[in-house]
Amino acid sequence: MDPQAAKYLGAGIATLGMAGAGIGLGTIFGSYLAGALRNPAAADGQFGRLIFGFAVTEALGIFSLLVALILLFA
């Protein structure tokens, strides 16, 4: 296999983490909204956990993009 083709293949596989981040964010916000609609009084107490989950999930997606860019340009 050509080394250039292997580099592109590895970068493409590394970007699958971005799809996982998108699915994770949808799950996090969907669950928060479902819980907030069931119990609006507790929604404010869960907002900090929502933001923390968002930040961690988004960071993992950005890390996968970084790995893909490193594979392409390093």
CATH of domain 9-73: 1.20.20.10
Reply yes or no on whether the pLDDT at 2 is more than 90: no
Instruction: Write out pLDDT tens, residues 32-64.
Output: 999 999 999 999 999 999 999 999 999 999 999
**pTM to 2 decimals?**
0.79
Q: Which residues, at least 6 apart from 36, have a Cβ–Cβ distance to it below 8 Å?
A: 42, 43, 46
Q: What pLDDT band is residue 71 in, cutting at 50, 70 and 90?
A: very high
Q: What pLDDT band is residue 74 in, cutting at 50, 70 and 90?
A: confident
The rounded distance, in Å, linking the Cα atoms of 6 and 10 is 6
User: Which amino acid is it at 74?
Assistant: A
How does DSSP classify residue 10? H
Burial class of residue 67, CB neighbours in 10 A (0-12, 13-18, 19+) = middle
Q: What pLDDT band is residue 3 in, cutting at 50, 70 and 90?
A: confident
